[in-house]
Amino acid sequence: MCGILGVVSKNNVSKFKTEFEIAIKNLSHRGPDHTSAVMFDNAMIGYTRLAIRGLNEKYNQPVVIKDGVYGFGNGEVYFRKNRFVLTDKIDLWNLFSDIVKGEENIFEVYDADFAICCYDSINKQLILGRDVWGVKPLYISWIDKGTLVFASEIAAILPFFKGTDSIGINQVTVRNYLLFGYPVSYQTFYDNIDMLEPGTVWEWNLNDNTNSNLWQASKIYGESDENIQQQFEDALCSSVRSRSISDRNLGCHLSGGFDSSMLVYLLYGQNVPIKCFNMYREQADADFLYAGRIEKELGIELIRKRLRVPNDYIGLIKILNSPIMSTGAFVPLQCAEIAKENHITVMLEGQGADELLRGYSRFMDERIGDSRQIFDVLSNADMGLLSLLFDKSEREINIIREFYLNEIFKNNTKIPAYQEFYIKYFLHELLRIEDHVNMAYSIENRVPYLSLEMRKLLYSGLLSPQKENLSCFHKVKNTLISTRKKENLNPDMRKEIMAVKENYIDMISENRIALDLDYAKLTDILVSNQFMEMGKKEIFLLWFIYNLHLWCVYQGFDKKIFLLGE
């Protein structure tokens, strides 16, 4: 919906005006319809608007919550429990008001996706908040001990550090990436930039320089395990209905699989006008065939686009401000491109369904129940190849395993540890990628599977792990999607490594590899094409290494990175 930016300090912030102006321009794609800012001695806060609900200037921000208190936000409020939501103001007004009052935990009463800030210019207090799933991003960084900058994207934070050595590489995040493909924390690849943890409302009092969490999301539970199928259907229908409210055109990425097909069936049943987009590699692909069957069955408008071979790695790295997780990130990027060409401003997506309903194939791996083997199921890198390239002993590899086993099992909820781990970290990164690639084309991403009621069902332990048991909910009895074999649309990573092999080898020969690894062994693997016979996790590790170095080159980082620290 928007982009937000702020620099708040115990001292005067006027010296950051030039950096602030550059930073707000770096968010223009997130809000091409309006830009505004408020400036005080101790704070500069800006906002770029993507108008979706209420298209006139009446709904521009900032919101004046009360005298001297201003609210800026990126997000949507879909429902508020036990209270009428005012419709003559922007939907976030109610959220701002309740946060400032501080009377109840907003995460238990609001179904909303948001990243917000409230600034009290009289009492010099800053409040930042983020939705419970992390649908909307919010990055934070301390310029110094008394100055904080926050923004919807890293690109709006970096100008405040230009010409300094205050930003470097976060080596812990690098290790996480090499093993999993994503951060496994709320830290970023920059050692002085983090993300505000999802499900957090945080306050900083500038007068005494104290800060604390006002609210954090707890695991809320549903009321009954009776008729769980009906509860699931009601929750998803309600979520689809609320998330399809828009004054701009709606779109949906229809793969023909369960997650997106379910959404399209429900949208069709609710008479919501929507354009569907189908990305495919070949016309024989299941994505092409099953989406076509749904098009014929429902008479929907389906726009198809054949996936291009990925070639602009740096372009995507620039959008994400991080290395690329996998070739799968190019799919929503190209879908957003075709959606923009068709004048779409809001995309409804199926993120969260696989995490909530345990739809990933690795969740069916029999080793998932073995506490000593769960790390090898969840990680995406081959530990043997990692040991070879980084010259790590079996003892050092075991240290790495033990560290992540402790992380995986430290949560105690009614859902399995591996599922909680995936929701907390993998889903969080998926949502970040979807936000950034869609917003690159000024498109908002909405996720009906990630609602307040669905969260209650999840943490009550009531959701069935078998999607086949849920396919009846779409009320179309032809089983078009329940019999579909799950396929991966992502471009073949092995072919991608072959395509970039020469550049990969050049990076090594020019000593531009930032990692502390054995260059000769890596070169042998590439030159001899050994990777063409390697397994999936070995290919992933080679992919992670390549993309990490592309990111380092893009950012101008040349310091060596050590897998276990220096």
Burial class (CB in 10 A: 0-12, 13-18, 19+), 439: buried
Q: Are 514 and 559 in contact (CB under 8 A)?
A: yes
Q: Are 525 and 518 in contact (CB under 8 A)?
A: no
What is the model's pLDDT at position 25? 97
How do residues 180-198 score in pLDDT, each as one tens digit? Answer: 999 999 999 999 999 999 9
Residue 374 has pLDDT above 60, yes or no: yes
User: In this structure, what token pair is assigned to residue 397?
Assistant: 């590899």
How do residues 447-487 score in pLDDT, each as one tens digit? Answer: 999 999 999 888 887 776 555 555 545 444 344 555 555 56
How do residues 59-96 score in pLDDT, each as one tens digit? Answer: 889 999 999 999 999 999 998 886 655 555 667 888 99
Q: How confident is the model at residue 273 (pLDDT cuts 50, 70, 90)?
A: very high
d(CA 250, CA 347): 6
User: In this structure, what token pair is assigned to residue 338?
Assistant: 């075709």
d(CA 73, CA 93): 9
**Residue of 282, 416, 440 whose CA lies nearest to 355:** 416
The CA-atom distances, in angstroms, between 312 and each of 275, 334, 433, 494 are 27, 11, 16, 17
Average pLDDT across the chain, whole number: 88
Question: What is the helix (H) or strand (E) element at residue 275, kind and residue range?
Answer: strand 275-280
Q: How confident is the model at residue 366 (pLDDT cuts 50, 70, 90)?
A: confident
How do residues 294-348 score in pLDDT, each as one tens digit? Answer: 999 899 999 999 998 888 899 999 999 999 999 899 999 999 999 999 999 999 9
Identify the residue with better confidence: 88 or 437. Answer: 437
How would you classify the pairing of strands 63-66 and 69-80?
antiparallel
Instruction: Assign 110 to helix, strand or coil.
Output: strand
Q: Is the peptide bond before 491 cis (omega within 30 degrees of 0)?
A: no
Mean local confidence (pLDDT), 118-147:
96
Mean local confidence (pLDDT), 349-374:
86
How do residues 403-416 score in pLDDT, each as one tens digit? Answer: 888 888 876 677 88
d(CA 7, CA 30): 18
Q: How confident is the model at residue 402 (pLDDT cuts 50, 70, 90)?
A: confident
CA angle at residue 443 from 556 to 31, to 5 degrees?
70
How would you classify the pairing of strands 210-216 and 200-205?
antiparallel
**26-35, 78-87, 152-161, 295-304: segment of lowest average pLDDT:** 78-87
How would you classify the pairing of strands 275-280 and 250-253?
parallel
d(CA 482, CA 299): 20
E strand residue ranges, 67-124: 69-80, 110-120
Q: Are 332 and 434 in contact (CB under 8 A)?
A: yes
What is the model's pLDDT at position 476? 42
Q: Radius of gyration over alpha carbons of the chain, in Å? A: 23
How would you classify the pairing of strands 275-280 and 301-306?
parallel
Mean local confidence (pLDDT), 407-433:
87
What is the model's pLDDT at position 468? 53
Question: Residue 303 pairs with which residues in a beta bridge?
Answer: 277
User: What sign does the dihedral 102-104-106-109 (CA atoms) show?
Assistant: negative
Q: Are 43 and 13 in contact (CB under 8 A)?
A: yes
**350-354, 375-379, 506-510, 541-545: segment of lowest average pLDDT:** 506-510
Mean local confidence (pLDDT), 106-113:
93
How do residues 477-529 score in pLDDT, each as one tens digit? Answer: 344 555 555 566 566 888 889 989 998 998 887 766 678 888 899 999 999 99
Residue 228 has pLDDT above 70, yes or no: yes
What is the model's pLDDT at position 22? 98
Task: Give the Cβ contact number of residue 341 at 10 Å.
Answer: 11
DSSP 1-52: -EEEEEEEESS--GGGHHHHHHHHHTTGGG-BTEEEEEE-SSEEEEEEE---
What is the model's pLDDT at position 479? 43
d(CA 125, CA 145): 16
Mean local confidence (pLDDT), 219-228:
66
